[in-house]
Structure 1
Amino acid sequence: MLAIIICTIILILIGAAIGIALGVSLNRSTGSFRWNPTGIVENSNTQLNGPEFVYPDGNQNIYVPDYYNYRIQRFPSGSLIGTTIAGTGTPGNATNQFNGIKNIWLDSSYQYLYEVESLNNRVMRFSTNSINGTAGTVVAGGNNPGNNTDQLNNPQGIYYDTSSNSMYIANYGGHTIIKWIPGASNGSVAAGTSGESGNTSSLLNSPLDVRVDQYQNIYVADSRNFRIQRFCVKNGNQGTTIAGGNGAGNSSIHLAQPRSLHFDSQMNLYVSDTTNHRIIKFVKV
């Protein structure tokens, strides 16, 4: 009898220990389990949380801004295991932290990485050989959101033009494209009018991405005008609609909040048409 009682006590203690280890509790009357309602977000080197962009370099390494893990990951070619080259895993505005990583770009030598932070209203530069927690350098903005020449306002997209050593920044909240030499105190408006949105040929409405061709023509994903605008050097601040611009829609001539744009070697245009859940190609003629 004593042996039976001891065995029963041991089984109860083991069961309690298992319940604690698994973080669950057993409802004795129904036999159902309950879980802690607060979930755990995984952030190991094989996982991502909210990535919004990807950049492959010439060696087929892949760089990813891992939005909700507040870091930038590099994945070697063919590997699913990433290395953190910037960020600490916690949000903040120190030079080794991120808050709102939206986009990244590498220079032509793949030596430096430029990243745009919408919530810190700045662009930071990091060496691609950096490691977790390394401090970067603020190369544009970082002076609170605003429309002055030393400020950015919810920046979203970036393009680094090697020929002019300049960054072109899609300044979403300021409705402009800003041209900024890395490290300079001020930038300059390259397209749009600072702080003014509109749908005329000279205005933008919440631009999300930007590209520049070899002739220094600027291409803009003009999201809330549902169009792609081109600003030619010879035309000054007057843009030309090269895709969309017919209001929001889902036909082949419409766009609905274009998010990003890319050109192939033949200058065919590819647009991520966000609200239409598609990638649409416009062939150069």
Structure 2
Amino acid sequence: MRCAGCLQEFCYNHSSDHRQELNKQLDKVEVSRNLFRQKLTQQTIDPQKHPLIQQINDWERQSIKKTRQTAEEARQILLQHTIGHITKIEIDLNKLTNQLKQSRGKNDFYETELHHWNEELKQLEKELNKPSNIHLREDSRLLINKISVDVRSVLLSMPNIGANAKWIQNGITIAGGNGYGNDVNQLNSPFGLYIDDDDDDDDQTIYIADQCNHRIVKWKSGATNGQVVAGESGQGNRNDQLNYPLDVIVDKENDSLIICDSGNKRVVRWPLRNGTSGEIIISNVDCRGLAIDNDGYLYVSDVSKHEVRRWKIGDTNGTIIAGGKGKGDRLDQF
């Protein structure tokens, strides 16, 4: 007997053993399902127990602790300096008190002295409330890392694949497959792909960044050979050459290819039909991937700068839309 799942052959007795083993594995799946159901029910009853809520609570506690610690350090520094400052004010106040006593005793004072004493008292009070040699400075840099919630639209539904569906064990070769080389029926370390379903000549055409052959190859559906459409002049940095291209897309609006010419650290636009050389549209970029939207904006990933920029044809500087804050594992870094 053949098992429809693993496709192995079993005799009658072993087939029964195999079925028992499958039942045991199903039991384990159901146990895991029940445990997950309990967890889901708990979070439905008390959403505050969600792990992400707990993470926010931990952040809140740590932030309060750090804020209190910083405030206490500032208080201690201020107390150390205000004690000496108050002592100095006390000395100045005693001097003023003696002057008042002497003037009253002699009964020899005028408006000018009264005005001077009032101003001196005001200055002492001002110095007490806001010492001229002490300032509270607020640093504009964040004391704590700000936490925020980023909600993306994600489909949680599973693909509608039948329980008895079987995948084809071997794929179909649609380009290359004749060993690595530089003949028209060969590729050498192909990297990026662009599938053009709207090609006028055929139902489907694939453009391949043939990395180590330093060329872009156009391969029609069902063809045995490809057609070199960019980089026929071999490896180099001239406008008619490419150097380890890693990605390619089609700009239908301008009827051209846009190529990630990695080895030359540039992005090149190449005429789609009968083009013999390209035009550099972006320089000094360690490009790895390309994309273009319906408005004609070009998106370029830069592996060295850990960023993605958006470009409009003719721009001298692109706009950073992702990353660009150095290498790292934060949500705003690559």
What does residue range 143-158 of structure 1 map to in structure 2 within 5 Å?
Answer: 143-158=233-248
**C-alpha distance in 1 between matches for 2:252 and 2:171:** 27
SS in 2 for 1:221: strand
Amino acid of the residue matched to residue 175 of structure 2?
A
Q: Does 1:209 align with 2:289?
A: yes
Instruction: Give a deviation string over 1:76-126, Cα, whole Å, max 9, x none.
Output: x96443222221331111111110100111113252111011110000011
Distance apart, 1:137 and its partner CA: 0.7
Q: Does 1:111 align with 2:204?
A: yes
Larger radius of gyration between Structure 1 and Structure 2: 2
**C-alpha distance in 1 between matches for 2:225 and 2:333:** 43
**C-alpha distance in 2 between matches for 1:135 and 1:126:** 7
Q: Does 1:90 align with 2:179?
A: yes
Instruction: Give a deviation string over 1:22-79, Cα, whole Å, max 9, x none.
Output: xxxxxxxxxxxxxxxxxxxxxxxxxxxxxxxxxxxxxxxxxxxxxxxxxxxxxxx964
Give the TM-score taking structure 1 as reference length: 0.54
Corresponding position of 1:102:
191
| Unpaired segments ≥5 residues, structure 2 | 1-165
**C-alpha distance in 1 between matches for 2:169 and 2:292:** 32
Give the TM-score taking structure 2 as reference length: 0.46
**C-alpha distance in 2 between matches for 1:78 and 1:128:** 22
Contact map agreement 1:168 1:179 (CA 8 A) in 2 = yes
Query: Which of 210, 214, 235 in structure 2 is aligned with 1:121?
Result: 214
Percent of aligned positions that are identical: 29
Contact map agreement 2:268 2:282 (CA 8 A) in 1 = yes
Query: Which of 295, 302, 316 in structure 2 is aligned with 1:222?
Result: 302
Q: Does 1:185 align with 2:276?
A: yes
Distance apart, 1:188 and its partner CA: 0.8
**C-alpha distance in 2 between matches for 1:215 and 1:147:** 30
- Quote the RMSD (CA, aligned, Å): 1.8
SS in 2 for 1:242: strand
Corresponding position of 2:250:
160
**C-alpha distance in 1 between matches for 2:269 and 2:292:** 11
**C-alpha distance in 2 between matches for 1:142 and 1:99:** 15
Amino acid of the residue matched to residue 84 of structure 1?
T
Instruction: Give a deviation string over 1:157-200, Cα, whole Å, max 9, x none.
Output: 111222322211111111111111233001111222xxxx3xxx
Corresponding position of 1:251:
330
- Give the direction of change, closer, same or farther, for the CA distance of 1:246–1:99 in structure 2 (3 Å limit): same
Contact map agreement 1:120 1:142 (CA 8 A) in 2 = no
Aligned residues between the structures: 164
Amino acid of the residue matched to residue 127 of structure 1?
K
Amino acid of the residue matched to residue 111 of structure 1?
Q
| Unpaired segments ≥5 residues, structure 1 | 1-76, 198-203, 256-285
Contact map agreement 1:179 1:189 (CA 8 A) in 2 = yes
- Give the direction of change, closer, same or farther, for the CA distance of 1:78–1:164 in structure 2 (3 Å limit): farther
Distance apart, 1:128 and its partner CA: 1.1
**C-alpha distance in 2 between matches for 1:94 and 1:209:** 26
Instruction: Give a deviation string over 1:116-144, Cα, whole Å, max 9, x none.
Output: 111100000111122xxx22110000322
Give 4+ residue runs of structure 1 displaced > 4 Å after superposition: none
Amino acid of the residue matched to residue 212 of structure 2?
L
SS in 1 for 2:213: coil
SS in 2 for 1:119: helix
Corresponding position of 1:237:
316
SS in 2 for 1:238: coil
Contact map agreement 2:268 2:278 (CA 8 A) in 1 = yes
Contact map agreement 2:178 2:185 (CA 8 A) in 1 = no
